[in-house]
Amino acid sequence: MVEKSDKIWMDGRFVDWDSAKVHVLSHALHYGSAVFEGIKCYETEKGPAIFRLKEHNERLFHSADVFHMRIPFSKEQVFDAIKETVRINRLRSCYIRPIAFLGYGPMGLNPIKSPVSVSIAAWPWGAYLGEEGMRNGISIRTSSYPRNHANAALASAKISGQYVNSILAKREAVTEGYDEAVMLDVKGNISECSGENIFIVKNNELRTTPLGTILPGITRASIIRLANDLGYHVMEEYFRPEDILEADECFLTGTAAELTPVRALDKKGIGPGKPGPVTLKLQQAFMDILHGKNSKYGSWLEYVE
Ligand code: PPE
């Protein structure tokens, strides 16, 4: 169960955690008609700091645009409400979940007259793919479910209904004893994992799936920039499952997963079957940035206090 905080922001005001309820006939419950974000806040020497809040907020509004949903608050209002949600709950480090959804109104697929609601919750959330996985790497399965065959605009939006694809892939993988699923696009290229983007490393060069079938991860963009700054060449190019097996290293990126090493694909070890030097170097450098220990990337942090 999600660890409770005190308050949840709902349509412009804070309500008690246990009172943050919606009607069962809310449109989004029936049809997945919502857009959302996953954002993280970290403890730093200067107090809690939200990682790349501006970019997450932009993506929330972008998702709403793609879905033709009008969020009844300005970007500035949502930005401030996210910070206030962390502050009012006195959280030091937490996961933040803003969601804009079609609420209780007419039933049926025509969304035009449905009211749009926005809520923001925040709660402490530990290592998404496990502490063990962060240290020693996780195992992934090539999913039997292909990634949503969406056009690039839909793929770029974090729309709730699209996550059924991820949920099916994740359930299949964990039921069979894997930690995570990696999905292929309809051409058989690696797309992304249920909730992360994917990178491989070979001969000190990095490769990651280009934009098109994937969520444009904010962590992915941050790692590309960080890797470049550390002198690594990063190619945004399609690759296939066999390229993962022939790679020296593999890792996943995401807000919740941060930078998680992958040690095996379909029960076959990648490289020596444990996190490699490039992965560990990027992971450490990224953790330092998240916790405000590298002033070069100070603009990526939005301080709450
Ligand atoms: N792809 C997908 C499908 C995805 O859901 C995420 C985030 C990413 C890539 C990475 O994007 P970014 O967080 O901007 O680097 N996945 C969220 C899922 C968590 C959840 O279980 O819900 C997240 O990490 O917040």
pLDDT average per 10 residues of sequence, the chain (305 residues): 96 98 98 98 97 98 98 98 98 97 96 96 93 96 93 93 97 98 97 98 98 97 98 98 98 98 98 97 98 98 96
Is the separation of the CB atoms in 213 and 241 below 8 Å? no
Q: Using a pLDDT cut of 90, give the percent of the chain over it.
A: 97
C-alpha dihedral, 60 to 63 to 65 to 71, nearest 10°: -40
Terminal-residue alpha carbon distance, the chain: 28
CA distance 55 to 131: 27
pLDDT in tens, 192-220: 999 999 999 999 999 999 999 999 999 99
Q: How far apart are CA 209 and CA 216, in angstroms?
A: 10
| Residue in 213, 229, 212 with CA at minimum distance from that of residue 282 | 229
pTM value? 0.98
| Ligand 1 contacts CB of residue 196 (under 6 A) | yes
Residue 268, φ and ψ in degrees, nearest 5 = -105, 130
Per-residue H/E/C for 206-217:
EEECCCCCCCCC
Asked if residue 182 has its Cβ within 6 Å of ligand 1, the reply is no
| Token output for 159 | 């729309």
- Tokens encoding 304: 């709450």
- Indicate the top mutation candidate among 96, 180, 255 to test ligand 1's pocket, ranked by most ligand atoms within 8 A of CB: 255
- Structure-block tokens of residue 29: 């419950």
- Cα 48 to Cα 84, 250, 286, distances in angstroms: 12, 30, 17
218 lines ligand 1 (CB under 6 A): yes
Q: Domains in the chain, please, with CATH? A: 7-123 (3.30.470.10), 131-290 (3.20.10.10)
Q: Alpha helices, DSSP H only, in the chain?
A: 27-31, 53-66, 75-88, 131-136, 152-155, 163-175, 218-229, 241-246, 277-290
Minimum CA distance residue for ligand 1 atom 6: 195
Q: Which residue is catalytic, options 21, 158, 274, 293?
A: 158
Residue 158 annotated as catalytic:
yes
Residue 219 beta carbon below 6 angstroms from any ligand 1 atom: yes
Rg value, the chain, Cα: 19
pLDDT in tens, 41-88: 999 999 999 999 999 999 999 999 999 999 999 999 999 999 999 999
